[in-house]
Amino acid sequence: MAVESPYTSEDLTSLGLSQERLPRHIAIIMDGNGRWAQSRGLPRIEGHRRGVHSVRAIVEECARLGLDQLTLYCFSSENWKRPRPELDLLMSLLQRYVVAERDEIMRQDIQFQTIGRTDRLSQKILAEVNKTVEMSRDNPGMRLCLALDYGARDELVTAVRGIAEKVRSGEMNVDEIEEGTVSQHLYTAQMPDPDLVIRTAGEMRISNFLLWQISYAELWVTETLWPDFRQSELMTALQDYAARDRRFGGLNS
């Protein structure tokens, strides 16, 4: 799907990388915005504002590398438990991002998509999100996927209900259900599974993120807080990924 990378083979070699050893799909759990702000004596909302700069930098770098997809865990279904002022700011930042970045998304031929529930987002925000999705639908470059009001358990429950309804209606037989059936009923149907999952802020947990899809993904955790995460950290993750031996349960000769 992605357009050809502007990085030459020599560029990648100088970074200790090669096109063949790059992940095609990176998923990132962006953590540490609040801690970044509090450690500087700032309100938590300042960490979220600064985190948008990291989003912009990493999206641009992944597009330059020619990746197929970058998925960012922006807002989980559990995040609704946060204080109302923080929720209001997060929603405002989301709306501003999808509007402000449209020109850049189109310039870089990025295809913008989202996964997660939409019924709890305001109609105003949803309209702006959908506008960016529609504008970029035919772009040939990297897919940028934002996980919004997303929870993997909820996604799996929704998939099971969809499959059960098809069985009940006679559209599908129970014996026909296999792994591919489940995959095609997830929010991520038609998307490749992530090869690499990055988590910032040193937290060693998945946090209900893409539980089905990351079964064989490589995990990479950094102590760096998300507002400080930039290209150098991304390159370190990619170098570590390239050095790993991915066997998918088998043995390499």
Residue whose C-alpha is closest to residue 209's, from 221, 199, 218, 201: 199
Q: Among the options 11, 68, 79, 193, which is catalytic?
A: 79
Helical H runs in 25-178? 33-38, 44-65, 84-100, 102-107, 123-135, 152-168
Task: Collect all residues with Cβ–Cβ distance below 8 Å to 143 and sequence separation of at least 6.
Answer: 1, 68, 69, 70, 110, 111, 112, 113, 191
Known catalytic membership, residue 31 = yes
Residue 251 pLDDT? 56
Q: Among the options 11, 31, 33, 88, which is catalytic?
A: 31
Do the strands 25-29 and 69-76 form a parallel or antiparallel pair, or are they unpaired? parallel
Q: Dig out the tokens for 56 from the structure.
A: 């912009």
Residue 9 pLDDT? 87
Q: Dig out the tokens for 252 from the structure.
A: 């390499």
* Mean pLDDT, 10 residues at a time, the chain of 253 residues: 73 89 97 97 95 97 97 96 92 95 96 95 95 97 98 98 98 97 98 98 97 98 98 97 81 55
In the chain, where are the structural domains located? 22-151+192-241
The type of residue at 193 is: D
* DSSP 8-state symbol, 183: H
Residue 61 pLDDT? 97
Residue 245 pLDDT? 86
Residue 250 pLDDT? 62
The pTM for the full model equals: 0.94
Report the number of secondary-structure helices (H) and strands (E) in the chain: 9, 6
Phi and psi dihedrals of 93, rounded to 5? Answer: -65, -40
Residue 11 pLDDT? 87
User: Residue 232: enclosing H or E segment and its boundaries?
Assistant: helix 231-242
Residue 146 · residue 93 · CB < 8 Å: no
- Regarding the domain delimited by 22-151+192-241, which CATH topology (the fold level of the hierarchy) does it fall under? Undecaprenyl pyrophosphate synthetase (3.40.1180)
Residue 130 pLDDT? 96
Residue 75 pLDDT? 95
